[in-house]
Amino acid sequence: MFRYHKTESGYKIFSKNLFCGLIYDNDHVIMSSNQPDYFCHYFDLRRDYGSIKQALSGYPNLTQALEFGKGIRILNQDPAETVFSFIVSANNNIPRIRQIIQKLCDKFGEDMGAYRAFPTASRLARASLSQLYEAGTGYRAEYILQAAGAIRDGFLQDLSKMDTQTARKHLMSLKGIGGKVADCILLFGYHREDVFPTDVWIARVYEKYYAHCGQCTREQMALELCKLFGNLSGYAQQYLFYHIRQTQKYNKYI
């Protein structure tokens, strides 16, 4: 999600220790990878998004977002990479998130020849606080270190067996992981569809289109939106997020 580079004709994308190139050619995309099966799953290519969009079209205030984000797919990312990435994302902007993650790869990732892998949890667990500060993580350095140790010791081992709410609480027991980050990890790392990551942008959407209570917290918004969208929550969130994020200012970053 945060490890991609635009090229003349497409994108270079990195996940874990793997690489994938995308070339846009008229109406189709050519994928080349050292691990095509992995990236078919990564891009969620086997899923029928047409029926998801059809189901979502019955909901209020989504028509425009569905059209705007017609090519959206929910990525299946590596769970550990997702944990570290979204710890970094908190109270941060996208260019800097990408920069920090790049530096973490440069400093701690395995050398794959043409690029560096995302660092493993056990490698990050052996990093020093000052090394993590050097990567620009700031006050999140200790969160990363703690999460790295926990994951190395099996923290994520049983997560896929837990129901969503149990898994969410489990993730939130780590410092640096609150409700929003936990929901992102569940959505992008475990493809849990019954979460609604609620950040500043979704909060704005909520207040504009879906507000039921006058003054409610992000947690309450997420709960209400989940109740409304059920197992389509994760998808609805992505369409709404992408739409507002691209059409409201700050789109200079992309």
Partner DNA sequence: CACCAGGTCTCTC
Partner DNA sequence: GAGAGACATGGT
* Residues that bind DNA in the complex, under the rule CB under 7 A: 1, 89-97, 99, 133, 136, 138-139, 172, 174-182, 184, 197, 199-202, 215, 217-218, 237, 241, 250, 252-253
Q: Is 227 a known active-site residue? A: no
Q: Give least dist CB 179 to DNA, A.
A: 5
Neighbouring C-beta atoms of residue 179, cutoff 10 Å: 18
Nearer to DNA, 32 or 166 (CB): 166
Q: Give least dist CB 92 to DNA, A.
A: 5
Q: Give least dist CB 137 to DNA, A.
A: 7
Q: Give least dist CB 205 to DNA, A.
A: 11
Find how far residue 157's CA is from the centre of its chain: 20
Nearer to DNA, 110 or 242 (CB): 242
Nearer to DNA, 209 or 253 (CB): 253
Crossing angle for the helix pair 164-172 and 179-190, to the nearest 10 degrees: 120
Q: Which of 180, 208, 227, 252 is catalytic?
A: 180
Amino acid at residue number 42: Y
Residues facing 13 on adjacent strands:
4, 20
Nearer to DNA, 126 or 218 (CB): 218
Neighbouring C-beta atoms of residue 155, cutoff 10 Å: 21
What residues contact residue 1 under an 8 Å CB cut-off, 6+ apart?
75, 77, 82, 85, 188
- For 238, the 3-state DSSP assignment is helix
| R_g (Cα) of the chain, nearest Å | 18
Instruction: List, by residue number, the catalytic residues.
Output: 180
